[in-house]
Amino acid sequence: MTKEREKLNLIDTDIHERVSYEELLPYLENPWKRYITDCHWIQEKRMPYTQPAVAGVDRADARVPDGRPAGSDLGFMQKQLLDDVGHEFGILTGALDPSPSSMHGWYEMASALARAYNNWQIENWLEKDDRLYGSVHICANDVTEAVKEIERVGPHPKMVQVLLPIDDFMWGDPYYHPIYEAAQRHDLVIGMHHNEPPLYYGKWPRYFIEWHTLLPTSHMMQVTNMVFNGVFEKFPKLKLLMIEGGFTHMPHLMRKMDQQYKDLRHEVPWIKRMPSDIVREHIKFTTQPLEEMSKREFMQLIEQMGSEDLVCFSTDYPHWDYDSPFAALPPNLDEGLRRKIFSENARALYPKLPQSKGGN
Amino acid sequence: MRTVVCNKNDMAPGDMKEATLGRASIVICRTSDGEFYAFANRCIHQGAPLSKGKLCGAPEPTDKVGEYKFCREGEIIRCPWHGREFDAKNEGRTLSNPKFKLKEYKVEIEEDQVVVYK
Ligand code: FES
């Protein structure tokens, strides 16, 4: 950047660090390691399109100069993102490859990958930059192992959330509730980030543009599922962050859930307050990918959500649909709201983040 | 204000290059027909440096669903972030909506040198 510009003191709620399977090997035990070295195991992926932008799913200028994929080098990320923008903190959310909770079987392997990933993340990122905080990766489909892993790395001072990918599992199901109990006990937020949810009746639409347009619907499904399955009634301190779905769909969903609840309460008698109140108390949303809009349009959405405290800025670095903190929000937002979006809402969400700065 | 960017032969058709004009970062494109164009090196969407994108072609607009006709190779600047397409040969206008365009600078070839004016 040629010009000096303001440093934002941003708390960035979605940064994707990337591991290669090779880097993960020293953190894996056998037989898991051998399945990769000898049998060339790679994680299942299903999406038929990986081409959205000039450099696939990454920002074309985020590839590491030595040729490694975007997000794989701490030094380069520090220079291009953390130092340039002026991050106060950044929350790492992984690159969903591997994504142990997305696997449809072989949960022993998935749990081993989660353990290895957490160790790699702590050693190579969290303990090397004070600004970076991390997500606990788990294999949610083996709940016992998942809870064990939360017990093992959850107490690490730089781990602030448990990551659940959005694919085709509905995470509000009571089967997964022990995960929320453990997260709550360790002051960890649940962070949900879509991986490859098959939005179209379990299939794929013909074009990426269709799938990407409707990604927020996968977030809406999880929010609805978590609310009506009583997760927040059972775990009153639990907080959820919906990552990379934006927030502009939420005014509709909150109103719709309220209206449904008035009619259909009898089916979910464990819900004893308006769903929109549950959302306001327990769930926050990241901004990216934010649609372009005027300040007036933006404020109308915030008003319809009934709170200025629900939206946290995220860049999604280093992906192609990165939102620049200098350009993504509508211009001239009131300073108080801007501060909330840039940092204070995230600070209030994560009890393990240092609480002192900002807050004015 | 003027700046000499390079020798004409330093850039092959299809090349894109970053330069500065005073304090402004600019991007020079040599389109496939050998012509030179210069634009502000800042995407009008969120400000990405266009020189890190691609000077490429694009599937041209068509009336037939499912038809891809890739053409204009070396004439379309594609942004490195969200991939918006700018037509270098049409004042840097976006393909999705020609109402929007990049800031363009005048380029002259003077004794084989590529010179950009503001
Ligand atoms: S910054 Fe260029 S397309 Fe968004």
User: Where in chain B are the domains?
Assistant: 2-117
A175-232 confidence digits (pLDDT tens): 999 999 999 999 999 999 999 998 999 899 999 999 999 999 999 999 999 999 999 9
Give residue A1's pLDDT band: very low, low, confident or very high (50, 70, 90).
very low
Q: Is the CB of B81 under 6 A from ligand 1?
A: yes
pLDDT tens digits, B23-69? 999 999 999 999 999 999 999 999 999 999 999 999 999 999 999 99
Could you say which of A3, A52, A61 has the minimum Cβ distance to residue B52?
Answer: A61
- Given a cut of 70, whether residue A321 has pLDDT beyond it is yes
Report whether pLDDT(A71) > 80: yes
Q: Alpha-carbon distance A285 to A273, whole Å?
A: 21
Contact residues on chain B for A61, CB-CB shorter than 8 A: 48-49, 52, 80-81
DSSP states of A148-201: HHHHHHTTSTTEEEEEEEESS--TTSGGGHHHHHHHHHTTPEEEEEES---TBT
Percent of residues, chain A, with pLDDT higher than 70: 98
* Identity of the residue in A2, A3, A322 whose CB atom sits nearest the CB atom of B81: A322
Distance (Å, whole) CA A196 – CA A211? 10
Is the per-residue pLDDT at B102 higher than 70?
yes
Instruction: Report cis status (omega within 30 of 0) of the bond before A98.
Output: yes
Q: What is the A289 CA–ligand 1 centroid distance (Å)?
A: 12
What pLDDT does residue A8 have? 85
pLDDT, position A6? 75
pTM of the predicted protein model? 0.95
CATH architecture of B2-117: 3-layer Sandwich (2.102)
Inter-chain touch B80–A61, beta carbons under 8 Å: yes
A52 reaches B (C-beta below 8 A): yes
pLDDT given for residue A357 in this prediction: 66
- State the average pLDDT for chain A: 96
Which domains are present in chain A? 10-349 (3.20.20.140)
Q: What is the ipTM of this complex?
A: 0.90
B44 vs chain A: nearest CA distance in angstroms?
Answer: 10
Radius of gyration from C-alpha coordinates of chain B: 14
Q: For B28, list phi and psi in degrees, rounded to 5.
A: -100, 135
Ligand 1 atom showing the smallest separation from residue B80 Cα: 2
CB proximity list for A229: less than 8 A, separation 6 or greater? A172, A173, A174
Residues of B in contact with A55 (CB under 8 A): 80
Q: What is the mean pLDDT of chain B?
A: 97
Q: What percent of chain A is predicted at pLDDT more than 90? A: 93
For a mutational test of ligand 1's pocket, the pick from B46, B78, B95, B96, i.e. the residue with the most ligand atoms closer than 8 A to its C-beta, is B46
**pLDDT value at position A46?**
83
Instruction: Measure the CA angle with vertex A228, ends A225 and A232; round to 5°.
Output: 95
Pick the residue whose CA is nearest to atom 3 on ligand 1: B82
Q: How far is A326 from chain B (nearest CA, A)?
A: 8
